[in-house]
Chain A
């Protein structure tokens, strides 16, 4: 059974996936940023913006995240907290992918995210 903190491998893998999004955005590389997103998020992003994922992700308003503050992994879900952002991830057959980013905490409700699935 995998509990939070029991698997630094999973923590690292989830963090690497979140970092791929962050570095892709910082480099202005929409393709690299999109590659870090789950299929559902990619489709939702392209559909809602009426453009390609590569363009939409750069225009989504995801903030410059800063440094990683905390990583929590429970089973197939993870949360990477940055100084300036919160990113949610899921584990897929091809590895960890971002399921929501640019997230703002709301009282007693799910995080409101710039990028998220449907």
Chain B
């Protein structure tokens, strides 16, 4: 057990703070929802009902989709774009050779089976991180659009307005305001990280260059 925790402490740390933040968001969102209900002369709802509401679902999924998009773009952008001095940048752009990527007969004894297999399986495995991150992004964004549509229509009905179709919601300002307010912050954070890491250091972090590494060293990490 101790070994498991030590070997997976980074994943476990984020898992724990994810659930803590999600629970916090649920309670805060519930209180906010009920405040708005009261202001509109409508009834408050219980916590369990809120957890299954469109209001909670849209607030969760709009953030999920943007986070997965952020990492999806970062994974892909660091294949095709270069930033001199950044530990997040590749040393040179491109997909690399089979030898560099340890594919086919260049694979190691303990390389993943699909890296050794060749053909379609190796092609799929070579892009598996992008495929999965992209799939989670698309599903989360779709879920945001559906939950956001339902939550928006609930508000519209409370305001004595006709509900919108899902298609109309997809071109509605509410959908794009929710989407783009998340995207811009993710793009800013990841872009500034790539640049700040050229000149600044965090001793011991895999996301930073070694403290004494020159500013113009690219694709060097400290851990």
Contact of B160 among A38, A72, A75, A100 (CB under 8 A): A100
| Size of the chain A interface, CB-CB below 8 angstroms | 28
Q: A92 to B43, alpha carbons, bound, how many Å?
A: 5
Task: Tell me how far the C-beta of B50 lies from the nearest C-beta in chain A, rounded to whole angstroms.
Answer: 10
Contact A78 B157 (CB under 8 A): yes
Contact A74 B160 (CB under 8 A): no
Q: Which B positions have Cβ atoms within 8 angstroms of A?
A: 37, 41-43, 45, 52-55, 57, 146-147, 149-151, 153-155, 157-163
Please encode chain A, from 39 to 79, with 1 for each CB lying within 8 Å of some chain B CB and 0 for all others.
Answer: 01000000000000000000000000000000010111111
- Contacts A77-B154, A111-B160 known; A2 to B45 CB distance under 8 Å? no
A-B contact pairs, 15 of them (CB 8 A): A1-B57, A2-B54, A72-B157, A72-B163, A74-B150, A74-B157, A74-B163, A75-B150, A76-B42, A77-B157, A79-B163, A88-B157, A90-B42, A93-B43, A116-B160
Task: Tell me how far the C-beta of A98 lies from the nearest C-beta in chain B, rounded to whole angstroms.
Answer: 12
Contact of A72 among B41, B52, B147, B153 (CB under 8 A): B153
Q: A117 to B41, alpha carbons, bound, how many Å?
A: 8
Task: Tell me how far the C-beta of B99 lies from the nearest C-beta in chain A, rounded to whole angstroms.
Answer: 50
- Contacts A79-B157, A110-B161, A113-B160 known; A3 to B150 CB distance under 8 Å? yes
A interface, over-half SS: strand
Contact A75 B43 (CB under 8 A): no
Q: A110 to B154, alpha carbons, bound, how many Å?
A: 14
Among B37, B42, B151, chain A packs the most CB atoms within 10 A around the CB of B42
B146 contact set on A, CB distance < 8 A: 3
Does A103 interact with chain B (Cβ within 8 Å)? Answer: yes
Contact A77 B158 (CB under 8 A): yes
A105 contact set on B, CB distance < 8 A: 162
Contact of B43 among A74, A91, A111, A113 (CB under 8 A): A91
Q: A34 to B45, alpha carbons, bound, how many Å?
A: 23
Contact A88 B153 (CB under 8 A): no
Contact B163 A75 (CB under 8 A): no
Task: Tell me how far the C-beta of A102 lies from the nearest C-beta in chain B, rounded to whole angstroms.
Answer: 12
A103 contact set on B, CB distance < 8 A: 160
Q: A92 to B41, alpha carbons, bound, how many Å?
A: 10
Does A26 interact with chain B (Cβ within 8 Å)? Answer: no
